[in-house]
Amino acid sequence: MSSILDATTSTDADYAMRNWQGAETGRIVIGSDAHMRLFCRMLLDTHNPYKPAIMVWPKLAPDALQRITSLPIWDIAVQTEGRAMLRARAYADTVRDPLLHEALSLDAGEEARHKVVLSHLVQSYGIPLEPEPEYEMPEDPEWDWLVTGYSE
C-alpha cells in the first residue's frame, strides 16, 4: 500500500517540478522580494519526497559492477554531500525570514538525502569508503552556501 502512495506522491512531485510556474507576474527584479518569493516557492513547491531507503539498486553485470566500483570518486562524492548539507544548514540557521528559512532548511535536508542515496549506492555495490572526516562549520555560511553548487 505505501509503495502505491509513494509512487503517486513521486509522480505528483515530478509533475509539479516539470510544470511549476510562480505566482509573481510581470518583470521580476533580481534581488527583489518577488525574486526571493519565487526562489523559495520553486524549492518548496517542486520538492520530490522520494525516500532513499526504498530505492532498489539493480543487480549489475560483473563488467558494469567493476566499472562502477573502480571509479575513484565515491569518498569524494559522499563527503561533498556531507559538506553541502552542513553549509546549507549553517546558512539556513542565519536566515530570519520564515519563507527563506523554510526553503533553505529544505535544501539542507535535500543535501542530507543526497548523501544517504550515495551511501546506499556504495553499500549496495560493496564499495569501500574511508572514514569520513570531521566536517567543519563554515566561517561564512552565506558565501559557503552560495558556492556549494559549484563544488557538487
Tens-digit pLDDT profile for residues 11-24: 777 777 788 888 88
More confident: 141 or 20 = 141
Residues 12 and 65 in one domain: no
Q: Which domain covers residue 33, as residue numbers?
A: 1-50
Distance separating alpha carbons of residues 3 and 72, to the nearest angstrom: 34
| One domain, residues 82 and 138 | yes
* Mean pLDDT rounded to a whole number for the chain: 88
Q: What is the pLDDT of residue 93?
A: 96
Whether 116 and 72 map to the same domain: the answer is yes
Same domain, 18 and 75: no
Of 150, 24, 139, nearest in space to 91 by CA: 139
Give CA angle at 29 (23, 35), nearest 5°.
Answer: 45
Range in 3-7, 74-78, 92-96, 109-113 the model is least confident about? 3-7
How many domains are there within the chain?
2
Same domain, 60 and 121: yes
CA dihedral over 16, 17, 23, 26, signed as positive or negative: negative
Q: Are 102 and 133 in a shared domain? A: yes
Assess whether 113 and 73 both reside in one domain.
yes
Examine the fold and report which residue of 30, 50, 70 is the final residue of a domain before the chain moves on: 50
83/138 same-domain check: yes
Of residues 96 and 17, more confidence is placed in: 96
109 band by pLDDT with thresholds 50, 70 and 90:
very high
pLDDT one-digit tens code per residue, 23-71: 888 899 999 999 999 999 998 988 888 888 788 899 999 999 999 999 9
Distances (CA, A) of 29 to 32, 37, 59, 94, 103: 5, 12, 49, 24, 20
- Does residue 138 contact residue 87 with C-beta atoms inside 8 Å? yes
pLDDT the model gives residue 5: 41
pLDDT at position 2 over 50: no
For residues 80 and 138, membership in a common domain is answered with yes
CA distance 37 to 16: 17
pLDDT of the residue at 60 = 95
